[in-house]
Amino acid sequence: MASWTLTACGDDNDDGGDSGGKTKLSVFSWWTGGGEEAGLKAMVADFEKKNAKIKFVNDAIAGGAGDKAKAVLASRLQAKQPPDTFQGHAGAELLDYVKAKQIEDITFLYEQEGWKEVFPETLLPLLTMDNKIYSVPVNIHRANVLWHNSQVLDEAGVSAPPKTLDEFLDALDKVKSKGKIGLSIGEEWTQQHLLETVLLGKLGADGYSALFKKGGDWGGSDVTAALEVWKELLGFTNSDAASLTWQDATKLLSDGQAGFNVMGDWADSYLSGDLKRKPETDYGWAAAPDTDGTYQFLSDSFTLPVGAKHRDAAIAWLKECGSKSGQDAFNPKKGSIPARNDADPALYGPYLKWALEEWKKDKIVGSLSHGAVASLAWTTEIGTALGLFLQSKNVGKFQDALGEAAEKHAV
């Protein structure tokens, strides 16, 4: 468990009670790694300026996309030992916690802080059930981004990032023929992340979104085509994928061992921040193939768990999360655009300036791997089917399993 605090004070060994006149606030997330922790630290610094009597305690569990954190969180919630506040994705994932009565209605904060006016209309419904709002979004991430190493592409004679999946396969062939990895990838969730961008590419925004509604057709030939292309893409990836984190996979691209990587835009923060690569020079980006004009989004939000020990301190944290200064501290470092409508674009680097523009004009769809469109149970079942596919390589069986999962979980 990662643990850093920015205020050295009081007794760290108690179970989260008051210490040295300060209230300890345990904040649960999975932001421990490259490109992730920096954003959190920046927001904590801003928070502590405003809240001298609260001591931030980092209760994060490492693991991209929260794959390990969510399991730990589930058992803590089950045992009624919640952190004071935890990270949850806007959308179906958040509503899981609402249905289980594990988080509180915080509509009062929206009224108090005037947030209904500053958060986008596309986002609020994903935080709302029965007219009550349940969390505070800190950001908007984009899932469907194709990253490339400029030099590797130059050497392979690929003059521009591929716009379509067919062009992508051609470009991968060219990179491979130079003895490089075409597409770097990591552990299973990153392969699922790739899959959701391919489903979007093949089915289009409306077709993709329909998959996650009741009666969505997972048995169609368009889904088969998407699975076939995805399988082909996996043929251009590194053989040690299973043991690599998303950062490891991004680093293969950064180091010039791979030409392409498909990852959410937290990769920009890792590349330009931790790895010190120059955007638009060392690396570049484009919409994932065949998805230009659609923003496949996800949003990280923070909650007020039922039974939080330090409820007032948690509310202070939620106010920070929703504030302009908090979002402007967090997002430029996190590689996301702010959830608020009133961000200052001057604070953002070249990638995020692009993302801010795209967000305004694109069609919006939700990400599968990051909680927007499917419940945790559904996403987990898709993950299990994907794991079996990786052994059998049987597209037909995989598609059947996806259909069964949808029938069971779509609401």
Helix 395-409 vs helix 376-392: angle between axes, to the nearest 10 degrees? 170
Q: Which amino acid is at 82?
A: P
Q: Is the dihedral of CA 33, 38, 41, 47 positive or negative?
A: negative
Distance spanning both ends of the chain, measured CA to CA: 35
Q: Which of 309, 310, 319, 370 binds ligand GAL (CB under 6 A)?
A: 370
Stretch 79-108 residues interacting with ligand GAL (CB under 6 A): 89
Q: Which amino acid is at 148?
A: H
Residue corresponding to tokens 């801010």: 356
Q: Are 95 and 129 in contact (CB under 8 A)?
A: yes
The least CB distance from residue 264 to ligand GAL, in Å, is 6
* Selected range binding ligand GAL among 60-68, 171-179, 249-257, 381-389, rule: CB under 6 A: 60-68
The least CB distance from residue 189 to ligand GAL, in Å, is 8
The least CB distance from residue 338 to ligand GAL, in Å, is 13
70 binds ligand GAL (CB under 6 A): no
| Interface size with ligand GAL, residues (CB under 6 A) | 14
Stretch 6-35 residues interacting with ligand GAL (CB under 6 A): 30-31
Q: What angle do CA 129, 36, 293 make, to 5 degrees?
A: 65
Q: Are 402 and 385 in contact (CB under 8 A)?
A: yes
Choose between 31 and 86: whose C-beta lies nearer to ligand GAL: 31
251 binds ligand GAL (CB under 6 A): no
* Selected range binding ligand GAL among 59-67, 158-166, 250-258, 354-362, rule: CB under 6 A: 59-67
Q: Are 254 and 283 in contact (CB under 8 A)?
A: yes
Choose between 264 and 326: whose C-beta lies nearer to ligand GAL: 264
The least CB distance from residue 219 to ligand GAL, in Å, is 28
65 binds ligand GAL (CB under 6 A): yes
36 binds ligand GAL (CB under 6 A): yes
Q: Which of 34, 66, 182, 326 binds ligand GAL (CB under 6 A)?
A: 66
Q: How many CA atoms lie within 13 A of 210 on its CB side?
A: 13
Q: How many CA atoms lie within 13 A of 280 on its CB side?
A: 6
Stretch 281-320 residues interacting with ligand GAL (CB under 6 A): 298, 300
Beta strand pairing status for 294-298 and 363-366? parallel
Residues near 302 by Cβ (< 8 Å), separated by ≥ 6?
27, 85, 86, 87, 88, 135, 136, 138, 317, 318, 321
142 binds ligand GAL (CB under 6 A): no
Q: Which residues would be at the binding site for ligand GAL (CB under 6 A)? A: 30-31, 36, 64-66, 89, 141, 246, 264, 266, 298, 300, 370
